[in-house]
Amino acid sequence: MRANRLGAALAVALTATLAACGSGEPTPQSSAAPQSSAPAAQGPVKLTYWTWAPNMDKIVDVWNKAHPDIQVTVSKQAGGDDAAAKYLTAAKAGNPPDLVQAEYQHLPSFIAADAVADIKAETAAIQGEFTEGLWRLVTLGTEGVYGIPQDSGPMMLFYRQDLFDKYGIEVPKTWQEYADAARAVRKKDPKVHLGTFSSKDPGAFTGYAQQAGAQWWSIEGESWKVNIADEPTRKVADYWSGLVKEGAIDDMPYFTPEWNKALNDGKLLTWPSAVWAPGVLSSNAPKAKGKWAAAPLPQWNAGENVSGFWGGSSTAVSAKTPNKAAAAQFATWLNTDPAAIELLVEEAAIYPAATKAQSALGEAPEYFANQPDFWQQAAAVSAGARGFTFGPNVGVTYNAFKDAFDKAVQNKSSFAEAVQSMQDTTVADMRKAGFQIAQ
């Protein structure tokens, strides 16, 4: 008798745990909860915020002091593609944070996974604070609004002023001049390269393609248009392919110990990067402080002023949060309140997305103390920077970039093929998932 009861109890316990663990789908209870009716009189609303911006906890402290009813806790993340993967996994597992820093290129994946909330109603008042181009990155051109722009990364050319003087090189204004300069440098000192093409950084390549006028994804009615191997992108690919093949520029990836060393030793003279580069240079190439300068990115046609974006992120609200209104309120404050933006610039060293804040930037970054007009340069570049709508599977596309360009660099084969492989992989993945694709 007793044995039976014990056995039965055990069976019940096991079934319970099995049921609890076996149900992979998160219960839809949270999404059913009404958005704004946060339980009143139950103490302050508690929000968690995943971000990798440095010193964000200090900025959030300011908010927490002023808003005892909405307390935000910062959970520091590693940045990059891993952070996006982690957020998607957490959302799938049913326990994402309330707020997340979302890079523009990953936001569509978050939207497609139903992991971020539409905050159109909550953000109606602040749309005017941002340029149309940036706002498009958080709406994808749809009716919804899925994040609030935080920072942006218009691309510029960073170069070693002292070594340009030493080798007698002019700052290249067009990509043609850049290629000529690359060859000239090789003649003057075979150990030095003007720059390098990184097969590990799809973000940089995306920026080049945007500058050339690429539109990798677009939305046409109810279907996606995928055009990664478009004419501007192939032009960019062929350009770099030629330079790498003839050895005019190096092919070492960015952000590696070798790259750091080359920067420190003056073996790389330029880095076409984004406005956030001073932060990277000061930590990865501390020895060269005060020797770098910034200029607009070389142009495809002389006299133009266009650029692309490398990086930049928004603050998104999780679709699962029970406190959507409070989360949106915090995200709005963080990215539009003048005091908050000042903190973001000072503490987190970001280039703010809000238009007014961009022109209010004063003193140049310490690393670029030799260039007092740094921020004016950045604002001029930013005005001419253009982006494009990102697709719902950028993770796949960026991974295809790394694999295809790794191979192309290694075999010295054509980059145009690599671009085609990105297109094919992306379309195949979207087809498999069932996305509607326009021909």
Partner 1 sequence: MNQGRRSAWPYLFLTPAVVLFTLFLAVPIGYTVYLATRRTKVSGLGLGKGARREVFVGFDNFSAALADAELWQGWLRVLGYGAFVLVVMLGLALLFALLLDSARVRLARFSRIAIFLPYAVPGVAATLLWGFLYLPSLSPIRSVLDADLLGPTTVTYSMANVAVWGGTGFNMLVLYTTLRAIPRDLYEAARLDGASELQIALRVKIPILTPAIILTTVFSIIATVQVFTEPTTLRPLTNTISSTWSPLMKVYRDAFVTGDLYSAAATSIVIAAVSLVLSFGFLRVVRNHAFGEG
CA 172 from chain center: how many Å? 27
Which residue stretch of 181-189, 256-264, 297-305, 353-361 sits at the interface with partner 1 (rule: CB under 8 A)?
256-264
d(Cα 179, Cα 172) in Å, to the nearest integer? 9
Site for partner 1 in 34-73 (CB under 8 A): none
List the Cα angle 375/105/377 in 5-degree steps.
10
d(Cα 392, Cα 221) in Å, to the nearest integer? 15
**Under 8 Å between Cβ of 109 and 395:** yes
Q: Which of 172, 253, 278, 322 binds partner 1 (CB under 8 A)?
A: 253
Which residue stretch of 58-66, 277-285, 288-296, 428-436 sits at the interface with partner 1 (rule: CB under 8 A)?
428-436
Q: What are phi and psi of 70, to 5 degrees?
A: -130, 100
54: alpha, beta or left, given left = phi > 0 and alpha = psi -120 to 50? beta
Quick check: 200 binds partner 1 (CB under 8 A)?
yes
Cα dist. 319→23, 141, 144, 327, 382 in Å?
20, 19, 13, 11, 31
Quick check: 433 binds partner 1 (CB under 8 A)?
yes
**Under 8 Å between Cβ of 154 and 215:** no
Between strands 148-160 and 217-220, the pairing is unpaired
Q: Which of 53, 60, 88, 331 binds partner 1 (CB under 8 A)?
A: 88
Quick check: 339 binds partner 1 (CB under 8 A)?
no
Nearer to partner 1, 156 or 319 (CB): 319
Nearer to partner 1, 234 or 267 (CB): 267
Quick check: 78 binds partner 1 (CB under 8 A)?
no
Quick check: 92 binds partner 1 (CB under 8 A)?
yes
**Total number of residues binding partner 1 (CB under 8 A)?**
63
Question: Residue numbers of the site for partner 1 (CB under 8 A)?
Answer: 1-3, 6-7, 10, 13-14, 17-18, 21-22, 24-25, 31, 81-82, 85-86, 88-89, 92, 108-109, 111-114, 118, 140, 142, 144, 199-200, 219, 222-224, 251, 253, 255-258, 261-262, 392-393, 395-396, 399, 402-403, 405-407, 409-410, 429, 433-436
